[in-house]
Amino acid sequence: LKQSLFTIIQLTIDEEQPKTKVFLDRFGQSVDLVYNDVDDYFEKITDPMDLAMLQNLLVLDEFDSLYQFLLNLNLIFLNARKYHQHDPDMVKIASECENFFIQNLSECKGFKIDFDIYQQILKRIDLYDIQKPNSKERPLFPLQVAQQIPYRMDGLSD
């Protein structure tokens, strides 16, 4: 499963679509405060995530479930939409890239993903962000939320 997730990340990184390239230029690596000219990033984003961090978490076997991976993947796009909330083009690009990732995951043979459960978890996290948008502390971070879900990383079908 881990190799499949790496493959999906790499397929997305290698994608030649201009919008994907724009997104990856900004969110493929950790935010560099000088290079990206985003000195207010950590004031707005309290739980940063990017594709490089996601890959490192995979390498370190930090995910006990596929949902932990999905929620951290979602965090990349959630942060992008939150930081660029006044830039409709970037919000749209973030959503399109997220849909591209999820589509690639759903088409990957052997994955058992209950997207209804995934969407319920995302709504729980997003609802908290809506209720307390400037809060420095969430009740549960994505990894903690996903740990409560019974589906395991070894959930590949035969």
Which fold would CATH assign to domain 2-146?
Histone Acetyltransferase; Chain A (1.20.920)
Written in H, E and C, the secondary structure of the chain is CHHHHHHHHHHHHHCCCHHHHHHHHHHCCCCCCCCCCCCCHHHHCCCCCCHHHHHHHHHCCCCCCHHHHHHHHHHHHHHHHHHCCCCHHHHHHHHHHHHHHHHHHHHCCCCCCCHHHHHHHHHHHHHHHHHCCCCCCCCCCHHHHHCCCCCCCCCCCC
Q: Which of 69, 51, 75, 48 is nearest to 149 (CA)?
A: 69
pLDDT exceeds 60 at position 17: yes
pLDDT band at 97 (very low <50, low <70, confident <90, very high): confident
What confidence score (pLDDT) does residue 114 get? Answer: 64
pLDDT exceeds 80 at position 141: no
What confidence score (pLDDT) does residue 66 get? Answer: 78
- Whether pTM exceeds 0.75: no
> Lowest-confidence range among 39-43, 63-67, 142-146?
142-146
pLDDT exceeds 60 at position 124: yes
**Half-sphere exposure in the Cβ direction for 105 (13 Å, CA):** 22
